[in-house]
């Protein structure tokens, strides 16, 4: 994850919650006033397109008006892959003093190439560490039989609440597996990373076939991943 920018972040949240989280970070970490500040731009979109990405790049390119920092918050319900590709350079190398936030309701459709260039910010909790490292390490180092047992557990639940908790664990597991793949580099893992991004999106559905998804992830993982 050495490509991650200290100035580019993604927040997994609904638009207004994510915008508030970005603004709270801006106030706390940069000491910027939020009211009537021309150096904080909040851009709201439905489907984020390539044309939108180009406008964002133009906004980012401008120097701060009043202070030494500039913050651009982009909130969208969904970002087309082509639009994410158009953001890669600006998210990897934003102008000095500029901070970027991309707010999405789910990270399921986030391209691995963009994800590798940002830090993930969780509303109200600050920066996330690799999620649930215990279960991730357990899964990566487990024998075939132990993986099957773990998958079976995460695919079950005595009631809706327990099934929801297990589904969240499954999402955290996939996030951890993805992070491990990214540490090994994009070369040779692009297809697997693309599969994982798609499968994670399905896991947000309450009726998701958790067992089938995790079994597929287990099958496509390269040997020696940790």
Contact 15, 103 (CB under 8 A): yes
Pick from 170, 166, 158: nearest CA to 196: 170
Per-residue pLDDT tens, the chain, 226 aa: give them: 334 457 999 998 889 999 999 999 999 999 999 999 999 999 999 999 999 999 999 999 988 998 899 999 999 998 988 999 999 989 988 898 999 999 998 776 788 788 878 888 766 544 444 444 578 888 888 888 999 999 999 999 888 888 878 887 888 788 788 877 777 766 677 788 888 878 877 876 778 899 999 999 898 888 767 5
R_g of the chain computed on alpha carbons: 19
Give how far the C-alpha of residue 167 lies from the chain's centroid of Cα atoms, to the nearest Å: 17
Pick from 23, 43, 186, 195: nearest CA to 117: 186
Contact 56, 43 (CB under 8 A): yes
Pick from 118, 113, 108: nearest CA to 79: 108
Pick from 150, 123, 148, 122: nearest CA to 135: 150
For residue 88, give Cα distances in angstroms to 5, 165, 193: 11, 33, 17
Helix axis angle, 133-141 to 144-154, nearest 10°: 140
For residue 39, give Cα distances in angstroms to 43, 98, 147, 185: 13, 9, 49, 35
User: Would you call 122 helix, strand, or coil by DSSP?
Assistant: strand
Q: pTM for this structure?
A: 0.59
Helix axis angle, 190-203 to 210-220, nearest 10°: 170
Phi first, then psi: give them for residue 70, nearest 5 degrees: -135, 140
């Amino acid at each position: 994850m050495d490509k991650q920018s200290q100035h580019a972040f993604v927040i997994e949240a609904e638009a207004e919650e994510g915008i508030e989280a970005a603004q709270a970070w801006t106030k706390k970490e940069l000491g910027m006033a939020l009211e009537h500040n021309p150096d904080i731009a909040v851009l709201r979109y439905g489907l984020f397109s390539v044309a939108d990405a180009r406008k964002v790049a133009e906004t980012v390119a401008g120097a701060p008006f009043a202070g030494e920092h500039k913050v651009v918050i982009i909130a969208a319900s969904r970002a087309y892959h082509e639009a994410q590709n158009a953001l890669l350079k600006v998210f990897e190398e934003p102008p000095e003093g500029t901070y970027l936030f991309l707010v999405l309701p789910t990270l399921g459709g986030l391209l691995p190439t963009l994800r590798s260039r940002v830090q993930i910010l969780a509303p109200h909790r600050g920066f996330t560490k690799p999620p649930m490292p215990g279960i991730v390490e357990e899964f990566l180092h487990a024998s075939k039989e132990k993986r099957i047992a773990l998958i079976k557990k995460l695919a079950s639940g005595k009631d809706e609440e327990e099934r929801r908790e297990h589904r969240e664990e499954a999402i955290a597991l996939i996030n951890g597996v993805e992070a491990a793949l990214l540490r090994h580099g994009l070369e040779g893992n692009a297809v697997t990373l693309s599969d994982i991004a798609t499968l994670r999106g399905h896991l947000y559905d309450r009726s998701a076939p958790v067992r089938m998804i995790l079994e597929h992830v287990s099958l496509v993982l390269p040997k020696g991943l940790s």
